Structure 1
Amino acid sequence: MDLHVFGQIIREKRNALGLKQEDLSLQSGVAIKTIHSIELGKGNPAIKTIIRIFDALSLDLLIVAAKTAKK
């Protein structure tokens, strides 16, 4: 999975919902620094971190994984 594409999808969904990184941090329980790194395609986030972000954004992990695999 391309982490840059993955991060871009998260950023686009967050922006579409009108959320700041701080808002997403509060809703997901994930540190702002971690969200920032993920959106930049950096780091290696744990699956539980990804799931918490996806739950907060109402994203489906399988759909996003399929999208990133195609790009």
Structure 2
Amino acid sequence: MDLTIFGQIIREKRNALRLKQEDLSLRSGVAVKTIHSIELGKGNPAIKTILRLFEILELDFIVVSAKSL
């Protein structure tokens, strides 16, 4: 999975929902710093973190994985 594209998808969906990183953090329980790193394509987020974000952002894991390949 290309983490840069993955981060871009997260950022675009968050922006489409008009959420700030802080809002997404509060709703998901994922630290703002972690969200920031993911959106920049840095780090290697745990599956638990990814699933929390996907739940809040209403993203489908299969679709995002296909776009990130």
State whether TM-score is above 0.5: yes
CA distance in 2, matches of 1:33, 1:58: 21
Instruction: Tell me the residue number matched to 2:35.
Output: 35
Alignment match, 1:48: 48
Q: CA RMSD in A?
A: 0.4
Q: How many residues align?
A: 69
In structure 2, the partner of 1:15 is 15
TM-score, length-normalised on structure 1? 0.95
Paired residue type of 2:29: G
For residue 52 of structure 1, report the CA deviation from its aligned partner: 0.2
1:68 positional shift: 1.0
Where does structure 2 lack aligned partners over 5 or more consecutive residues? none
Q: Secondary structure of 2:37's match? A: helix
| 2:42 maps to 1:68 | no
Q: Deviations over 1:3-23 (max 9, x none)?
A: 000000000000000000000
Identity of aligned residues (%): 77
The normalised TM-score by structure 2 is 0.98
